[in-house]
Amino acid sequence: MNLLAGKRILLGVTGGIAAYKSAELIRRLQDQGADVHVVMTAAATEFITPLTLQGLSGHPVHLDLLDTETESVMGHIELARWADLILIAPASANFIARLSQGHGSDLLSTICLAAQCQIAVAPAMNQGMWANAATQENVRSLMTQGTAIFGPDEGLQACGEIGEGRLLDVAGIVDLTIATFPNGKLRGCKVVITAGPTREAIDPVRYISNHSSGKQGYALAEAAIEAGAEVILISGPTNLAPPNRANVIPVTSAQEMYEASMQEATGADIFIGVAAVADFRPTEVSRQKIKKDKSGSRVTITLEENPDIIASVAALGDGPFTVGFAAETSHVIDYARAKLAKKNLDMVIANNVSNQEIGFNSDENETTMIWGNQEQTLPIASKRNIATKIVGTIAEALPESHAHD
């Protein structure tokens, strides 16, 4: 399962005998789809080599605040921004003390100071050090600062003593890591989204298209990524920067969008058709630019129908949960309900595009979601905000067979 798909985890390794377990931890986090970068303290390098962790993580290991080479690859502030979670495992008593007091004395503590993301700490130390009042006070202080504490475990320790202080087992750390992502409503789901307009060529320089900006589709891709999904964004031409972690398949025509959609929809859990697909395309595309002089004052372009992408996806046996959009200018809810039934969709999202304030090119939208015997209107809000709500509702409506949590 890919319960950490697309998640960026900065693994901090500090000095202690349990540092060898970080090698296994990298692998198990990667098994769940996480991208892992490693930062080691100087003491950690005495227990396990940076080369080992570099080989396993597939990225240069970051060791030194003042190392120009690694800083030029990804500087400490960039690393702090990059991470969705900073996981320090194992965390020594010394590092916990420095972290709780806000030190910025080495690379890892500096990154923690600069980071906005969640920090989690998996302590590992001798049972006496763990029980020590100063350590306990430092851990309490970290908890009140919002740091998550994973473990420690009890049992036989490297020093031969028995008690609390062992590093939590790797599987337990991975489980708690997964649980730190609270908005993982679509964890492990593969979501395919079509967005933007399509262009139907008339000749080498002209095409038929529409006013779709792609904003709502891109916002949905971002919201689905945030909810933990792996997102394939099949996009017609837009002026938008693609969401950071979406796998974007750029297409131009409806036929190309159809082919990419049919390929990606197989095995997907959710398909959201946001694209304003051109319903018709010129039956013949002129190889040469159509000239005025040859055509006289009238040109006739014969159009033929494009495949209905979302209806084809909904017709797949064992296909994804299929969500369509219905952009209407009148009788919005009635027409949307008719599309839900006709295309055999699981959910339809109706929006009134006759209002200039909302719809195609604007940053705002007002929609009504219709599924099963339910109907919910999302009042006018930013497309990003609407997207988050839509993703939340889809997650709740998703049948067991497509849910991975």
What's the min distance (Å) between Cβ of 72 and ligand CTP?
44
What's the min distance (Å) between Cβ of 318 and ligand CTP?
19
What's the min distance (Å) between Cβ of 233 and ligand CTP?
13
204 marked ligand binding residue? no
Give the per-residue SS3 of the chain: CCCCCCCEEEEEECCCHHHHHHHHHHHHHHHCCCEEEEEECCCHHHCCCHHHHHHHHCCCCECCCCCHHHHHHCCHHHHHHHCCEEEEEEECHHHHHHHHCCCCCCHHHHHHHHCCCEEEEEECCCHHHHHCHHHHHHHHHHHHCCCEECCCEEEECCCCCEEEEECCCHHHHHHHHHHCCCCCCCCCCEEEEEECECCEEEECCEEECCCCCCHHHHHHHHHHHHCCCEEEEEECCCCCCCCCCCEEEECCCHHHHHHHHHHHHCCCCEEEECCECCCEEECCCCCCCCCHHHHCCCCCCCEEECCCHHHHHHCCCCCCEEEEEEEECCCHHHHHHHHHHHCCCCEEEEEECCCCCCCCCCCEEEEEEEECCEEEEEEEEEHHHHHHHHHHHHHHHCCHHHCCC
Contacts of 140 (CB under 8 A, 6+ apart): none
For ligand CTP, the closer CB: 181 or 271:
271
Alpha-carbon span 112 to 311, nearest angstrom: 49
Q: Which of 169, 279, 364, 405 binds ligand CTP (CB under 6 A)?
A: 279
Stretch that binds ligand CTP, among 26-34, 121-129, 227-235, 272-280 (CB under 6 A): 272-280
Q: Which of 112, 189, 232, 275 binds ligand CTP (CB under 6 A)?
A: 275
For ligand CTP, the closer CB: 10 or 278:
278
265 is a contact residue toward ligand CTP (CB under 6 A): no
Q: How many residues bind ligand CTP (CB under 6 A)?
A: 15
For ligand CTP, the closer CB: 179 or 338:
338
What's the min distance (Å) between Cβ of 213 and ligand CTP?
14
Torsion of CA 240, 244, 247, 249, to 10 degrees: 20
For ligand CTP, the closer CB: 52 or 312:
312
Whether residue 215 contacts residue 382, with contact meaning beta carbons closer than 8 Å, is answered with: no
343 marked ligand binding residue? yes
307 marked ligand binding residue? yes
7 marked ligand binding residue? no
What's the min distance (Å) between Cβ of 184 and ligand CTP?
26
64 marked ligand binding residue? no
What's the min distance (Å) between Cβ of 390 and ligand CTP?
13
Q: Residues 291 to 350: which contact ligand CTP by CB under 6 A?
A: 306, 308-310, 324-327, 339
256 is a contact residue toward ligand CTP (CB under 6 A): no
189 is catalytic: no
308 marked ligand binding residue? yes
Task: Please identify which of the residues 112, 117, 159, 189 carries the catalytic annotation.
Answer: 159
215 marked ligand binding residue? no
193 marked ligand binding residue? no
277 is a contact residue toward ligand CTP (CB under 6 A): yes
Residues with active-site annotation: 159
Q: Give the footprint of ligand CTP on this chain (CB under 6 A).
A: 194, 254, 273, 275, 277, 279, 306, 308-310, 324-327, 339
Instruction: Output the known binding site for CTP.
Output: 279, 289, 307-310, 325, 339, 343
Instruction: Output the known binding site.
Output: 279, 289, 307-310, 325, 339, 343
